[in-house]
Amino acid sequence: MSVGEIRVAINSDQDIVSARQKGRLMATELGFSTGDATLIATAISELARNIVSYAHHGQVTLRMVNGLNRQGISVIATDDGPGIPDIRQALRDGFSTSGSLGLGLPGVRRLMDEFEINSQPGKGTTVAVKKWRQ
Amino acid sequence: MEVPILKQGAVLIATFQAALSDADLNQLRMGLVQQVVRFRSRAVIVDVTAMDVMDSFASRTLREIAHMIRLRGAETVIVGIQPEVAFAMVQLGLTLEGVATALDLEEGLAYLNEKFKTTN
């Protein structure tokens, strides 16, 4: 594991708090503004919550990334839970199968600059997001 | 981390200390409603100044707290949502519809005083 990478195991609601605090710290160290660090921490909170709600166990990986003339943070949330049968539906505002949240994924997409999702029913879900420093 | 609840006359004040887990928020919801009953409080102020992130779960819980307390005939005011937290909430699509908000504790108390005056 390199210095620019932090992995947080997500097994309970307490881990959601821990993941977003580590994400905020990393974002601040990378020079993100307080506002952007809050957006990143909020996105991490939602992604980690999806893991706890749907898959129960998973992992959030925080990584420093370098682009052309810019630096950013990448957040990858993975689980081997039930997967999302209809990703297009899950990306629509107001959709939820747990009957409780329903804003997670489309909201996270708005909070971050890049958003990628991969999900296979029965195998799990990976959501990878990035935010670049302004 | 448990949220302390202070009693100030007919008003209960719950102050969020730092990052709260889902379990802490659920505990606060139960604790506040019980205390509103116990003290026959007329209003609750939830001070979220120290809150680092208001995600979908936290805002849903706050909405539920406000609605439960309204069913008891009391008022809830959420105070101290930080500008960057408000920005993130809007981006995420979260609203606190039907819940009173105020800039800070002082403004929240002023709002309630005004409200009690007009209903008396």
Q: For residue range B22-49, list pLDDT tens digits in order.
A: 999 999 999 999 999 999 999 999 999 9
Structurally, chain A folds into a number of domains equal to 1
Pick the CATH number of B5-119 from 3.10.450.50, 3.30.750.24, 2.20.25.570, 1.20.120.1810: 3.30.750.24
Q: Which pLDDT score, from 0 to 100, does residue A102 have?
A: 46
Asked if residue A99 has pLDDT above 60, the reply is no
A92 has pLDDT over 70:
yes
pLDDT in tens, B56-66: 899 999 999 99
Torsion angles phi and psi, residue A72, rounded to 5 = -155, -175
Residues above pLDDT 90, as percent of chain A: 71
In chain B, where the domains are located: 5-119
Say which of A34, A35, A107 has its CB closest to residue B92.
Answer: A107
Mean pLDDT for all residues in chain B: 91
- Statement: residue A101 has pLDDT above 50: no
Range of the domain at A117: 5-132
Query: Other CB atoms closer than 10 Å to residue A98's CB: what's the count?
Result: 11
Residue B15: which residues within 8 A CB-CB, separation 6 or more?
B3, B4, B6, B47, B49, B50
Residue A37 has pLDDT above 90, yes or no: yes
Give the tokens for residue B88: 């993130």
Closest-CA distance, A78 to chain B, in angstroms, reads 19
Q: Span A38-48, mean pLDDT?
A: 96
Instruction: Using a CB–CB cutoff of 8 Å, tell me whether B94 touches chain A.
Output: yes
Using a CB-CB cut-off of 8 Å, the residues of chain A touching B64 are none
Chain A environment of B56 (Cβ under 8 Å): 46, 49, 101-104, 107
Largest CA distance in chain B: 40
This prediction has a pTM of 0.91
Instruction: Give the CATH number of the domain where residue A122 resides.
Output: 3.30.565.10
